[in-house]
Structure 1
Amino acid sequence: MARIRQAGIPLTVCIDKVAASGGYMMACIGNKIISAPFAILGSIGVVAQLPNVNRLLKKHDIDFEVLTAGEYKRTLTVFGENTEKGREKFQQDLDITHDLFKNFVASYRPQLSIDEVATGEVWLGMAAVDKLLVDELKTSDEYLAERAKDADVFHLHYVQRKSLQERMGMAAATSADQLATKWWGRLTQQRFW
C-alpha cells in the first residue's frame, strides 16, 4: 500500500469491521480512511504475554536448560526462571516497538494527537472520526456505490485455464477412482465370507 501511495495514486482505505493494531497500521497508509460507524479502530499499542511453567516443572523434578550466546538473547522464557533484569529488557523492547509504531502512524496521520490515541485503546468508527483516526463515516458499499455514479464500471469475469498438468492429474485421479470402484465391486461380488 505504501508503494501505491508513493507512486502518487490516491489511496482510499475502507474499514467495515476491524482495523486494530497492525490492521490500523496498514490502514493509516491511505490518503483517506473511511470507516463504518460500528467498525473497531485503533489499538495502537504493543502487547506480549506468555505463560511460565517453571514452578510446575520444578514440582515434578523436571530440569530445563537454555543455552544462549549474548546476554539478552532470551529475556523471558516459558520454561525457565525469569529474572527482573530480563523483564526490564523485554519491557524496553516493547517500549521501543511502541515508539516505532507511534512514529509510523504519526508519519501518515500527522493531524491526529498520537499520544492521545496510542494508548492501546480501541474506538468505534463514530468516536474514531472525532479522534481523527478516520476521515469519514460510511460503509465500503456506500462508498463504492457513490463512486460508481461518476465512473465507468466494468464487470470482469476471468476464468483461469487449468494447466495440462492439472488436467492430466484430474484425469488420472478419475481413472484411479473408477478402477478402484470396479475392483471393489468385483471383490464384493465374490463370496469370500
Structure 2
Amino acid sequence: MIKKLRKLLPGKWGETKPVVPVVRLHGAIGISSPLRPGLTLASVAEPLQKAFKVKEAPAVALSINSPGGSPVQSNLIFKRIRALAEEHEKDVLVFVEDVAASGGYMIALAGDDIYVDPSSIVGSIGVVSAGFGFTGLIDKLGVERRVYTAGEKKVTLDPFAPENTDDVEHLKSLQKEIHDVFIDMVKSRRGDVLADDPDLFSGLFWTGAKAQALGLVDGINDMRSVVKERYGKDADLKLIDGKRKLFGRLLAQSAIPPYLGSVSDLPETTLSTIEEKTLWARYGL
C-alpha cells in the first residue's frame, strides 16, 4: 500500500529513480591556451566534486576520451577521483569513447570497472619526449645565437645546439622514472587481471577488444546499458558540468566561436592546437 502511494506522490516524497552522475573527461591533458583550458585538475575538480556529492547516487560514471598529455595532471586527476570515491563510498564506472591512451588511460585506472567500445584505442603505457634540432638551419641562415646562463646545464637539450649524449641520457633517466610510476599504477589497479605480455608496458596501444584480452579493461559495453543492467531499467544518467558564466555558455553554443583573446595570445593558441592535434593524430583520430 505504501509503495503504491509513493508512486502517486510528487517530487522528493514520491518514488525516486536511481540516478548516476556523469562527468566528461575529454581532450588532451594539460595542454592549455587562452581559449582552450585543457583537461587539468583545475578544470575538472568542480564537476567531480558535484558528481560525488550526489548522495542518492550509487556510483559515478566517467566518460573518457583523451590521447594523453601531462603525466602530472593525469596523476592529479586520478588521485582526486580515487579520494572522492573513498570519501563518498561510491563506485567509479569508466567508459572509454574513441581513445584512452597514455595519460588518458592513467585517468581511466581510477575506475573500479573500465568499459570500452570494440574499436576504442587503449594503452600507450609509456613516456615520450619529442623536439627538433635546428643547428643546420641556423648555420645556413647565418644566424649567430647568443645564450648566457648561470649553471652549465641550464640549456640542456637546446634545439639550437648539437645533440649532447649526456643530455639525452639524463632525459631518458627522467622518462624511466615517470614510466615506472605509470607501470606501478597499472599493476596496483589491474594487477590481478593483467595478461603476461611483454608488450604490455612498451608504449603500444590496442583496440578495446584486445585491451580486454590483455586485462587493461573489464568489458565491452556502453554507459547506458551498464547503468540499467546494474541499477535497474529505470536508472537514469545525469551529466554534471562545471559552472559557466552566461557569456561562456553562449560562446560554447555558437557554431563558429570568434577569437576573443588579444593578438599576443594567438601564437600560444595556435601552438596548443597543433600540439593537441598531433596527440590525436598519433591514434588515427
TM value normalised by structure 1: 0.71
Q: Cα deviations across residues 91-128 of structure 1 (Å, max 9, x unaligned)?
A: 11111211111112222222225864111111111111
- Post-superposition offset of 1:5: 3.0
Q: Is the 8 A contact 2:134 2:159 kept in 1?
A: yes
Distance 1:4 1:35 in 2: 23
Q: Is the 8 A contact 2:228 2:235 kept in 1?
A: no
Q: What amino acid does structure 1 have at the position aligned with 2:84?
A: I
Q: Cα deviations across residues 12-49 of structure 1 (Å, max 9, x unaligned)?
A: 10112110001000001111111111111000011111
Q: 2:178 aligned with 1:97, yes or no?
A: yes
**Which residue of structure 1 lines up, in the alignment, with residue 105 of structure 2?**
24
Distance 1:88 1:146 in 2: 51
CA spacing shift, 1:90–1:67, aligned 2, 3 Å: farther
**Which residue of structure 2 lines up, in the alignment, with residue 10 of structure 1?**
91
- Map 1:21-170 onto structure 2 (within 5 A): 21-111=102-192, 112=194, 113=196, 116-147=199-230, 149-153=232-236
Q: What amino acid does structure 2 have at the position aligned with 1:61?
A: G
Distance 1:118 1:124 in 2: 15
Structure whose CA Rg is larger: 1
Figure out how many residues of one structure are paired with residues of the other and give that number: 162
Distance 1:88 1:144 in 2: 48
TM value normalised by structure 2: 0.50
- State the percentage of identical aligned residues: 31
Distance 1:100 1:68 in 2: 32
Q: Is the 8 A contact 1:36 1:140 kept in 2?
A: no
CA spacing shift, 1:17–1:154, aligned 2, 3 Å: closer
| Higher strand residue share | 2
Moved over 6 A (4+): none
Structure 1 gap segments, 5+ residues each = 167-193
Structure 2 gap segments, 5+ residues each = 1-80, 248-285
